[in-house]
Amino acid sequence: MLDDSLRKIGRYEILERVGRGGMGVLYRGRDTVLDREVAIKVMSGDFAEDETAHSRFFREAKAAARLQHRNVVTVFEFAEHDETPYIVMEFLRGRSLATRLKDGTPLKLPETLDIVIQLCAGLEFAHREGVIHRDVKPGNIWLCEDGTAKLLDFGIAKSAASTVTKAGDVMGSPSYMSPEQIGGRELDGRSDVFSAGVVLYELLSGRKPFEADSPTAVMMKIVQETARPLQELAPDVPPALAAATSHALEKDPDARYARAADFAADLQLVRLALEDGAGLDQSVLLAETMYAEDLRRQTGPSIAGATSLLTPPGGRRGIRGAEPVAPPALWRRPAVLGVAALVVLIVAALGTAMWWQKPPAIDDTSEPTAAPSALPAKEATLPPPAPVTPLTAEHPRALEITSDPPGAAIIVDGRDTHKVTPAEIPLEGSKRPRRVRLTKRSFEPRDVIVSDDVLQQGKLTVTLDPANTSPVTVDVAPASEGSYPFEVLDGSRVISAAATSHHLTVSGRRSLRLRAPEYFLDQSVTVDPASGRQAHFQAPGLGRLTVRTPLETCTVMIAGRSLGFPPIVNVPIAAGKYTVQLKCQSEPNRQAAVTISARQDSVEIIR
């Protein structure tokens, strides 16, 4: 094994050791050819001398190297130095999910959903490339400073086409292993879905679903016992979220989510309910319900049977668990929620904000084994908004806001005042400002909570810190399937012409736009030098949209672009959220919100 006195391995300069795990040592290094920071994982001597392990590492590492995805750590190279294998990866700044949970800071429910949805996105991509991770756990989920979650450590990953890992091999972390993994059976992506379900259960309840005094006893419970109902440990978890978690933890792989993308789709529905404040987007759900009702009238009285017609290939049954039947088309939208599930989601969303206050006590001593940083993640220090206190006669009638340097734009409670510092903001009636944001070019934005003391003084003074203007290399990968050309803009200026992928360099913090008008793509991504010298993004995949309406003389519009008169059938459109508008001459205009998922058909009915 390499010792700490080594200063170079291959073309990489060793800068410092940043971690040690069971399989080897992790170094921070520099690529002397490309002048970029890298992480170098050097295998231990015992591992390198094991011919079987050596062969498995290189064969399956090649499979991991194919995974170029925003939610998977990027692998640059596999090689040997003095017969010692090593792997070179992107160097990530942040910390593992396991470490994040140990600090006691509560994870809010939207954060939890976002992490697991990103985890599923990385898993889905890996599975499509024929790679099964087999060791999904908090220690192998890396949280970058920009909010991106990345899946780490494909050291025991198995290629679906590989025969190196024999049936009967049991590898992984016991608490997160699927029943079929424990049994040494052939695995597919559904095994990783089970592990992701364990992670979600743990994040929501603060406990693992299967606990015992020894690893063997834990594995016996996973195989033989049913997990304690999530809502017994966390009664305020939305029922739809508890149902999705239980679905991922089914013992039988055939009863589980068929794909990680299906699991993510149901979690996305819960997240949308939280974002809307009182339930799922009503226009979308109404259209889904009406479409299911139309199918019910056509096929019979069973709405569950009508819903199952929308089940995608692979037999996904969704939260409701309706039995799938053969879909009528290649692409199908995720299973439509029935009325009962809709009510559950809406009611659950109303009570969600009340429970997510206490941080779960996570006990995970596993270490991250790929691409960590020696630098701690920058944590947000902004406290929650102050409670609203009505203005009284004792308060000044205006708030004077100054900044050093002056000339910063003033945003109050999310509303642009169109004023720059120094300026006075009127305090109108009984309302009081709660949050002030100051922005100025070449300086970091600053958010300030307006306290009672500030209101009584009538003055707020803020010092702005200079922005980091270091160059950042930006890579934008093509959509995972169905790639298409798109351009990159800085504001309204095109900085990279239309292509299926982009490689460019920008200076300082930037909000870039990915745009492809033909597919309605206009997506913003943020590049921040504080998050590292490299930024990786991926264009969204394409879905299809069908718009149905009895108002056949109205024009269908999306993002100001006319699609013509209905019906609009199978229009390719980039994944994301959109507003569909009907512009009518003799009828009131109508609109509905729709969420497009990659490789899925979305049907919107507007009446």
- Catalytic machinery residues: 135
Name the DSSP letter for residue 383: P
Q: Pick the closest to residue 153 from 137, 140, 165 (CA basis).
A: 140
Helix (H) or strand (E) holding 329: none
Per DSSP, 168 falls in state: T
The phi, psi pair for 190, rounded to 5°, reads -65, -25
Q: How far apart are CA 49 and CA 44, in angstroms?
A: 9
**Maximal C-alpha separation, the chain:** 81
Task: Judge if the upstream peptide bond of residue 426 is cis by omega within 30 degrees of 0.
Answer: no
Helix (H, G, I), strand (E, B) or coil at 526: strand
* DSSP, residue by residue, 123-161: HHHHHHTTEE----SGGGEEEETTS-EEE---TT-EETT
3-state secondary structure of 522: strand
Please state, in angstroms and rounded to a whole number, the distance separating the CA atoms of residues 250 and 267: 16
User: What single letter denotes the amino acid at residue 446?
Assistant: R
Closest CA to 97 of 191, 23, 196, 174: 196
CA angle 274–275–281, rounded 5-degree value: 90
Phi, psi of 487 (to 5 degrees): -110, 160
Phi, psi of 575 (to 5 degrees): -60, 140
DSSP-derived pairing of the beta strands 398-404 and 459-463? parallel
Distance between CA atoms of residues 483 and 480, nearest Å: 7
Phi, psi of 326 (to 5 degrees): -65, 130
Amino acid at 208: K
Q: Find, among 467, 516, 466, the residue nearest to 488 by Cα.
A: 516
State in Å, rounded, how far the first CA of the chain is from the last one.
69
Q: How far, CA to CA in Å, does 28 sit from each of 1, 36, 149, 474, 538?
A: 17, 11, 20, 21, 26
Contact status, residue 144 vs residue 150, Cβ threshold 8 Å: yes
Contact 466, 442 (CB under 8 A): yes
d(CA 96, CA 84) in angstroms, rounded, equals 27
Rounded Cα distance between 336 and 193, Å, is: 21
- Going along 269-405, which residue ranges are E strands? 398-404
